Amino acid sequence: MQRAAGLYGSLIVDVAKGEKEPFHYDGEFNILLSDWWHESVHEQELGLSSKPFRWIGEPQTLLMNGRGQYNCSLAAHYSNSSSSQCMFRGNEQCAPQILRVRPNKIYRLRVTSSTSLASLNLQISNHKMVLVEADGNYLQPFAVDDMDIYSGESYSVLFTTDQNPSNNYWVSVSVRGRKPNTTQALTILNYHNTTSASKPPPSPPPVAPLWNNYTHSKLFTKKILALMGNPNPPPTTHHRRIILLNTQNYIDGYTKWAINNISLVLPATPYLGSIKYNLNNAFDHKTPPENFPSNYDVMKQAQNPNSTYGSAVYMLSFNTTVDIILQNANALAVNSSEIHPWHLHGHDFWVLGYGEGKFSNENDGKSFNLKNPPYRNTAVVFPFGWTALRFVANNPGVWAFHCHIEPHLHMGMGVVFAEGVRRLGKIPNEVLTCGLTGKMFLNNKND
Ligand SMILES: O=C1O[C@H]([C@@H](O)CO)C(O)=C1O
C-alpha cells in the first residue's frame, strides 16, 4: 500500500537519439493523477485485514501533481454548494498547477494515474484531445472530448490551443466506475500573456459522463489501437492459455479477493532467490489452477466457500506465447461487479479483445484483434466482462500480475509468473536478504 501513502512518481522516457516521434508538438505538460485519504495507510490496512472488514471508502480528494482541494472547490463559484471557493492567486500551497499555454500551438499532455482506487475521467473544456500514446507505445491517433484513465495507465494526448485566448478553460478530473463521493479535481488552462489565470472560465466545469455509464467507457477503450507496426502485431497462436477468474470471497470470515479461488499472500522469502536456488519450503509448489469450473455462474454472487490463501507461481516456459483471459464476475454483494485495472510487471502485452459475460474458448477467440491490438502493461476488465491479453514470456525473472487497485492487491488480487529464472546470472545480495535466502546470505557472509 505504499502508493496510498504517497510513494510514487512518474518517469519520462525520451526517444532514442536520432529517432523521431510520429507526431509534432510545441510544448508539454506532465500530469500525475492520484487520490488521497485522511485516514493513514496503516489504519486502512488494519481495516482491510479486520473482521468485520472495514472498507477504505472513497477518497477525500483527487490530486493533480500532488495538489488538490478539500472542503473548498474551484467549482463552487458555479454551484449552490455550501463549500467556499478557494481563492488561488498562485502561491498558496494547495493552488493547482496552472497550465499556461500560447495561442495556436500544439501541446502534449503526459497523463499518468497512480491512484490507489479511483478510475478517472479527464476533460479540457472546449478542447479536443487526440490520444497518441499509451503505456509508452504509439497509438493510431483518435480524438475525444473526454478520456478515461485507470490506475497504472499512462497516456500522451495532444491538444491545440485554438480557442478564444481571452478566456480561461477548465481541466477537470472526475471519478468513474464507482459511485463518486469526491469533488472533481480542477485546474485551469490559461492562454498566458492574454488573460489573467485568476479570471474564472465563462462556463461551469465540464460534467463527466455518469460514473456507471460503462457503454461510454467501453467505446473509448475499444478505440485504443496500436499505430501500425508499433510494435509488431502479436504471434497468431498461443502455447498456453490461462483463464483467471476473479471473485470476492470470505476466508475464515475475512473479506478477500481470489483468483481461481486462491487469494495471493506473498511469502516471506522473495521468489527470485527461492526459485533460482530451488528452495522447496519458500512458497506453494503445486501449479495454480489454469481455469475455473465450467459451471461457475459469473453473473451470480460468489459461491465459493473453498477459497484458500496461496503463494504458488505460474511457471512459464521461456519464449513461449501466453494468453491470459481476465474473467470478471459478481462480487459478494448482489448485482455488483467492479472495474479492475490489471498490471503486468516485466512485459508489455497485446490487448486482444474485450467481451461481455463468460469467455468462451471456442467462440470468443475468433474475434481477437491480431492486426493492431494496443501493446500495454495495464488493461482494464469491465464489470461482468472479460479481457484477453497475449504476451511472450521472454524476460527472465519473477513477475507480479495484479489488480492495480491497492486495497484489492492487499486483499489478494494477484498472481505470480516466472520464466527463465535459471538463465539469470548472479542475483544481487540485496534481493536475497529476507526469509530463507536471508539466512543463506548471512551464512555466506560469515564464511
Ligand atoms: O474490495 C472492495 O470491498 C468493498 C465492498 O465490496 C465491500 O465492502 C469495495 O467497494 C471494494 O472494492
Q: What is the pLDDT of residues 402-427, one digit of tens each?
A: 999 999 999 999 999 999 999 999 88
Confidence grade of residue 93 (pLDDT, cut at 50, 70, 90): low
Least confident of 40-49, 76-85, 160-169, 218-227: 76-85
CA dihedral over 23, 122, 99, 113, signed as positive or negative: negative
Distance 404 CA to ligand 1 centre (A): 14
**Does the beta carbon of 408 sit less than 6 angstroms from any atom of ligand 1?**
yes
User: Residue 447: pLDDT above 50?
Assistant: no
The number of the ligand 1 atom at minimal distance from the alpha carbon of 331 is: 6
Distance of CA 430 to the CA centre of its chain: 28
Confidence grade of residue 119 (pLDDT, cut at 50, 70, 90): very high
Candidates 200, 198, 135, 151; CA nearest to 35 is 151
The number of the ligand 1 atom at minimal distance from the alpha carbon of 117 is: 12
User: Residue 92: pLDDT above 80?
Assistant: no
Two domains, one topology: 3-222 and 240-446: yes
Task: For cell 451470480, name the residue.
Answer: 300
User: Residue 85: pLDDT above 80?
Assistant: no
pLDDT for the residue numbered 305: 76
User: Residue 328: pLDDT above 90?
Assistant: yes
pLDDT tens-digit series, residues 334-350: 999 999 999 999 999 99
User: Residue 73: pLDDT above 80?
Assistant: no
Which residues make Cβ contacts (< 8 Å) with residue 390, sequence separation at least 6?
Answer: 234, 235, 238, 321, 322, 323, 324, 349, 350, 352, 373
Three-state DSSP class for 407? helix
Confidence grade of residue 234 (pLDDT, cut at 50, 70, 90): very high
Distance 255 CA to ligand 1 centre (A): 9
Which residues make Cβ contacts (< 8 Å) with residue 82, sequence separation at least 6?
Answer: none
Ligand 1 mutation pick, 117, 248, 337, max ligand atoms within 8 A of CB: 248
The number of the ligand 1 atom at minimal distance from the alpha carbon of 407 is: 1
Which residues of 93-239 form beta strands (DSSP E)? 99-101, 106-113, 119-124, 129-134, 137-144, 146-149, 154-160, 168-176, 185-191
User: Residue 88: pLDDT above 80?
Assistant: no
Distance 55 CA to ligand 1 centre (A): 6
Looking at domain 240-446, its CATH superfamily turns out to be: Cupredoxins -  blue copper proteins (2.60.40.420)
**Does the beta carbon of 117 sit less than 6 angstroms from any atom of ligand 1?**
no
Fold of 3-222: Immunoglobulin-like (2.60.40)
Which phi-psi region, left, alpha or beta, contains residue 394 (left: φ > 0; alpha: ψ -120 to 50)? alpha
pLDDT for the residue numbered 210: 97
**Does the beta carbon of 331 sit less than 6 angstroms from any atom of ligand 1?**
yes
Distance 132 CA to ligand 1 centre (A): 34
Which residue lies with its CA nearest to atom 3 of ligand 1?
A: 55
**Does the beta carbon of 55 sit less than 6 angstroms from any atom of ligand 1?**
yes
- pLDDT, averaged across the chain: 93
Candidates 318, 313, 374; CA nearest to 348 is 374
pLDDT for the residue numbered 239: 98
**Does the beta carbon of 339 sit less than 6 angstroms from any atom of ligand 1?**
no
Distance 32 CA to ligand 1 centre (A): 25
pLDDT for the residue numbered 95: 76
**Does the beta carbon of 338 sit less than 6 angstroms from any atom of ligand 1?**
yes
Which residue lies with its CA nearest to atom 4 of ligand 1?
A: 55
Confidence grade of residue 255 (pLDDT, cut at 50, 70, 90): very high
pLDDT for the residue numbered 112: 98
User: Residue 446: pLDDT above 60?
Assistant: no
- ipTM surpassing 0.85: yes
The number of the ligand 1 atom at minimal distance from the alpha carbon of 333 is: 6
**What count of other Cβ atoms lies within 10 Å of the Cβ of residue 218?**
16
Distance 42 CA to ligand 1 centre (A): 18
pLDDT tens-digit series, residues 183-228: 899 889 999 888 888 888 999 899 999 999 999 999 999 999 999 9
pLDDT for the residue numbered 86: 65
Per-residue pLDDT, averaged over 389-408, amounts to: 98
Per-residue pLDDT, averaged over 171-186, amounts to: 94
**Does the beta carbon of 3 sit less than 6 angstroms from any atom of ligand 1?**
no
As a whole-number percent, the residues of the chain with pLDDT over 90 amount to 80
Which residue lies with its CA nearest to atom 5 of ligand 1?
A: 55
Which phi-psi region, left, alpha or beta, contains residue 221 (left: φ > 0; alpha: ψ -120 to 50)? alpha
Distance 403 CA to ligand 1 centre (A): 13
Distance 244 CA to ligand 1 centre (A): 19
pLDDT tens-digit series, residues 53-66: 999 999 999 999 99
Annotated domain spans of the chain: 3-222, 240-446
Which residue lies with its CA nearest to atom 1 of ligand 1?
A: 408
DSSP string of 340-406, one letter each residue: EEEEESS--EEEEEEEESS--TTTGGGG---SS--EESEEEE-TTEEEEEEEE--S-EEEEEEESSH
Which residue lies with its CA nearest to atom 8 of ligand 1?
A: 55
pLDDT for the residue numbered 193: 80
The number of the ligand 1 atom at minimal distance from the alpha carbon of 411 is: 1
